[in-house]
Amino acid sequence: MKLAVFILVGVFLAGCGGGGGDAQGSSGNSSLGLSVDQTALVFTGEEGQSTLVADQTVSGSITGATEPVVVKISYTDKGMLSAKFTRTSETSGQLQITPRQIKGLAPGVYQDTVTIEACYDNPCARPLPGSPRVVNVSYTVQAPRPAPVLKLSDRGVALASTPGGSRLSRTLTVRDTSGASSNWTARSDASWLTVTAAGPSGGPLVLTANPAGLPPGLRVATVTVSSSNSALEAQTVRVGLHTDTATPATSLVAPAPNSPWMGHAVDPVRPLVYSAEGSSIAVHHVYSGVRTATIAIPNAQLGAVVVNDDGSRLYAVNSADNRIVVVNLDTMSVSHSYGQFVNTSLLSSRMAFARVNGQAVLMLSNAEIIETYPMRRSLAPVFKAETGELVGELPLQVIGGNLRLAVSRDGTTVYGSEAGLSGYLSTTRVEMQANSLGNIYGKAVATTTRLLEASLQDLATSPDGSRVYLRYFSSPVVREAVYAGNALQWTAGIPDLAPPANTFGSSIPNLEVDATGRLITNDASFTLRVFSATGALEHQSQNVGNQTLASGGPGLILVSGDGLRLIGNGRLVGIPP
């Protein structure tokens, strides 16, 4: 029970607060004594709701009092935040009932009571007629009810046929999120790409390219997927096929200098890598190594860059004005920018992309957001990728902007862990959810037991978010945790290998997961290993070059969209399909 007491001068003496509010009084108004205009209030909200549920008011009055009156307000707070009393005249007052914020409550029904007592004395030994009055408050937080969508496990696919290796097929999953029994059909707009014609919800969609007779170069096809459920909009997959007869290059030509580690991103459709370069973005081909374009962004100081899931947009943090720059990758030109961020600088903030229930969103590891002027809040925000509209946040603690994020390819899961710390460290699994109000938000569902480690270097997650991999400076082992439905459980991990005899020291470890779920990691300065989605060692490369791929820092190794090329520190290395 909540309790606070006020004493006001006049015929109507009022108090606000609580204590002893379990008494039940008369429910009807009387001509004399205490009366209220409502005895029941109903509040409703939906999980993930970013706007506050509106307050409601209860008005009361006292008639026929022969001496000063004390009014006491007591209430429970299962779903209520407060009951604020305001005196409106000598004989009347009003209660402003405020419910708790939605983000602090799980779905369910919360029942509270507000008890109003009017007495001639402070202990309320002499109550007025009609006292006490009880107002029942019911607050229902509904489970999220997003509109159903036709969900594809990937919306961008890169295929290739080159002397260095080929990948000509990918399998996607198509699902009706309504849970209804439905079917889908798919069609390709290119003769070189065949697709599974139809299947049930949850079934596989196989994409297969035939490069026979095609000249060297890149071509992009569109696959349209439609559902028998008329409530669902058709979805598209962009598929790129790169063909070449030349031997792949081993390094980039004129790589971008001094890019921050989060200032690199690969294209999921094209054989391209993008790198922040001060006030421009360098675009390189991952097979020829040639710089194919430079995208100028005047007066910018670029930090993190990410590419969306179908390769149509690149998003870059411009710390010079704390805005997000949107680049159209079909035209290789700036489309627009937006910002509501008031940090001194977003240069060190990480950024990630996800498509949650059909909505394209971005996440920053740390930002200060203007909500309702002059309110500001530091958080890991979730905002619409095209407009910057704030639609939610991640329930992750941000310490000095050192939060690292790993997002599953299907957009359902985010893993967050702090970097730059030493001690007993943990990692949190956050499930991304949507509601019917258009909010996209994270819900923490599990946290690993703590490990005694120092300085997280890199982390990555499987395409479906079922497992997370971590590398620490203090340990040569690739840590792995698997989500078991209600907990994140550590496995034995992936041990380090002894460094080759002709190497010196260890490089900073990196982790990457390709579209098929393979894990790529470097163990020592010149050693790379590739593990299958089931954890089997598929490939190991030693002496990959005199200039290590990963000497520049954690997170600098990237894997191309087709999973056949590694990019790092200006070097290019092929890996088997």
- Tell me: pLDDT of 125 over 50: yes
Among the residue ranges 127-141, 148-162, 423-437, 508-522, the one predicted with the least confidence is 508-522
pLDDT band at 4 (very low <50, low <70, confident <90, very high): very low
Mean pLDDT taken over the chain: 86
- The predicted pLDDT at position 5 comes to 43
When pLDDT is averaged across residues 407-422 and rounded to a whole number, the result is: 89
Query: Can you tell me which residue has the tokens 């949850």?
Result: 202
- The predicted pLDDT at position 20 comes to 35
Kindly report the number of other CB atoms within 10 A of residue 234's CB atom.
12
- The predicted pLDDT at position 24 comes to 37
Q: How far apart are CA 289 and CA 249, in angstroms?
A: 6
Q: SS3 for 102?
A: helix
- Tell me: pLDDT of 91 over 50: yes
- The predicted pLDDT at position 400 comes to 53
- The predicted pLDDT at position 249 comes to 93
When pLDDT is averaged across residues 300-313 and rounded to a whole number, the result is: 95
When pLDDT is averaged across residues 180-195 and rounded to a whole number, the result is: 97
- The predicted pLDDT at position 437 comes to 92
When pLDDT is averaged across residues 530-541 and rounded to a whole number, the result is: 86
Query: Contact 564/553 with Cβ under 8 angstroms?
Result: no
**pLDDT, greater one: 248 or 1:** 248
When pLDDT is averaged across residues 288-317 and rounded to a whole number, the result is: 95
Q: How far apart are CA 487 and CA 482, in angstroms?
A: 8
- The predicted pLDDT at position 9 comes to 32
Query: Contact 428/447 with Cβ under 8 angstroms?
Result: yes
- Tell me: pLDDT of 127 over 80: yes
The residues, any chain, with a CB within 8 Å of residue 350's CB and separated by 6 or more, are 262, 304, 364, 365, 366, 403, 404, 405
pLDDT band at 209 (very low <50, low <70, confident <90, very high): very high
pLDDT band at 418 (very low <50, low <70, confident <90, very high): confident
- Tell me: pLDDT of 491 over 90: yes
pTM value?
Answer: 0.86
Token pair in block for residue 137: 């408050």
Percent share of the chain, pLDDT over 70: 86
Query: Contact 245/213 with Cβ under 8 angstroms?
Result: no
Among the residue ranges 36-40, 239-243, 346-350, 535-539, the one predicted with the least confidence is 346-350
- Tell me: pLDDT of 256 over 80: no
pLDDT band at 159 (very low <50, low <70, confident <90, very high): very high
- The predicted pLDDT at position 406 comes to 94
Among the residue ranges 129-143, 168-182, 252-266, 427-441, the one predicted with the least confidence is 252-266
CA atoms within 13 A on the CB side of 569: 18
Query: Can you tell me which residue has the tokens 């994409």?
Result: 207
When pLDDT is averaged across residues 490-504 and rounded to a whole number, the result is: 69
- Tell me: pLDDT of 499 over 80: no
pLDDT, tens digit (0-9, with 9 covering 90-100), for 383-407: 999 999 988 888 887 655 578 899 9
When pLDDT is averaged across residues 133-157 and rounded to a whole number, the result is: 96
Virtual CA dihedral for 535, 538, 542, 544, nearest 10 degrees?
A: -110
- Tell me: pLDDT of 81 over 80: yes
Whether residue 107 has a cis bond before it, omega within 30° of 0: no
When pLDDT is averaged across residues 220-226 and rounded to a whole number, the result is: 98
- The predicted pLDDT at position 100 comes to 92
The residues, any chain, with a CB within 8 Å of residue 271's CB and separated by 6 or more, are 158, 160, 218, 240, 242, 285, 286, 287, 560, 561, 562, 565
